[in-house]
Amino acid sequence: MEHKKINFEIEVYESIDQLTKEDAWLLNEAKNVTQIAYAPYSHFQVGAMALLTNGKTVAGSNQENASYPVGLCAERVLLSAASSLYPGVPVESIAISYHNDNGKSDRPITPCGICRQTLVEYETRLQHPIRLILGGMEGKIFIIPKAGMLLPLSFSGDDMK
C-alpha cells in the first residue's frame, strides 16, 4: 500500500488594497458584474471577469431560471463567451466575486464542482493554467495559481479512452 498526499498553497490577502493594480481592477470588475446577474431564486449574484492572454477581457454572471436550480454559473457563462468570442485564446486570470442578498459577502467563495470540472477542461484544452482571484464585496482575497488545483483528481477525456 502506498500513501500519497495532495496539497497546494494559496495566497491570502487581507484586503483588495494588497493586490497588484491589475488584480484589484479585475476583482473590482467582477464585483460590478454581480449587478447584471439574474438570480431571482437564490438571491446570490455571482460575477466573473477574465483577462485573456491577448489582453482582452470577458465577463460572465450567473443566470437562473424558473426551473431552479437549473441555471448557469458565472464561471461557465464566462468560459463559454470567451471561447466563442476568442476561440483558442487562453484565459490568464479570472476574478470571481459575489453579492449575497440573504447574508454577508465578506469572504472568498470557490467555484462549484461543475465549474471546477469546466475550468480544468479549459486549462487542459488550451494547455494554459487559469489563475483565480477570489473575493467577496469586502474582506480577504484568495489567489490560486491554477484552477486545476481545486480538483486534483479530475475526470478527463483520457479516462474515456
Residues 121-135 have pLDDT tens digits of 999 999 999 999 999
Kindly state the average pLDDT of the residues 133-149: 97
Which string of DSSP letters, residue by residue, matches the chain? Answer: ----------EEESSGGGS-HHHHHHHHHHHHHGGG-B-TTT-EEEEEEEEETTS-EEEEE-EE-TTTT-EE-HHHHHHHHHHHHSTTPPEEEEEEEEEETTS---S-----HHHHHHHHHHHHHHT---EEEEE-SSS-EEEES-GGGG-TT---GGGG-
Does the pLDDT of residue 157 top 90, yes or no? Answer: no
- Determine which one of 2, 14, 22, 75 is catalytic: 75
| Residue 70 banded pLDDT, cuts 50, 70, 90 | confident
Kindly state the average pLDDT of the residues 30-47: 97
CATH fold for domain 11-153: Cytidine Deaminase; domain 2 (3.40.140)
pTM reported for the whole predicted model: 0.95
Residues 78-96 have pLDDT tens digits of 999 999 999 999 999 999 9
Does the pLDDT of residue 142 top 90, yes or no? Answer: yes
Question: Known catalytic residue: 11?
Answer: no
| Residue 156 banded pLDDT, cuts 50, 70, 90 | confident
